[in-house]
Amino acid sequence: MKLLIGPHELDAELCTTITQVATGMMHRKGVGTNDAMFFVFAIGQQRSFYMKNVDFPIAAAYIDTDGVVQEIVQLKAREVTPVPSQSERIQYVLETAPDWFTRNNVGVGALVTTPKGELRTTLARLARLP
């Protein structure tokens, strides 16, 4: 799926099922400089992500129900302690290479959309997980 983040385009692998969310980037060899995984949930709430069976670090953006990046966290390889979001309105999580946000000058407050519009309307039919 193509995502627009500020002036940048990013192709992201979509995760909308329990299996996809539970597996994430597990058992992969690495993440490319412009690769991403985008997790879509049906409602906004506090989210926690961790790195079980992931041999490389990543960055994760916690994105609220309006599509605004609320927080960017660095997740360490093989770390099994979940890193919770500070916000209880997180509906989307974007995982990228650890330096993607810095390299592209994208930070907290950035709006994430799709070429067809805002996340809540373009992804509503895919959002099944609580």
Residue 124: predicted pLDDT? 81
Q: What is the pLDDT of residues 65-96, one digit of tens each?
A: 999 999 999 999 999 999 999 999 999 999 99
Q: Decide: 30 and 56 in contact? Cβ < 8 Å.
A: yes
pLDDT grade for 125, boundaries at 50, 70 and 90: confident
Q: Decide: 69 and 95 in contact? Cβ < 8 Å.
A: no
d(CA 126, CA 33): 26
Q: What is the pLDDT of residues 50-71, one digit of tens each?
A: 999 999 999 999 999 999 999 9
d(CA 118, CA 40): 13
Structure tokens at 30: 């690495």
Lowest mean pLDDT among 23-27, 35-39, 40-44, 113-117: 23-27
* Cα within 13 Å of Cα(5), Cβ side: 27
2-105, which class in CATH?
A: mainly beta
Q: Decide: 82 and 47 in contact? Cβ < 8 Å.
A: no
Residue 129: predicted pLDDT? 67
Residue 38 has pLDDT above 80, yes or no: yes
Helix (H, G, I), strand (E, B) or coil at 55: coil
Task: Sort residue 109 into left (φ over 0), alpha (ψ -120 to 50) or beta.
Answer: left
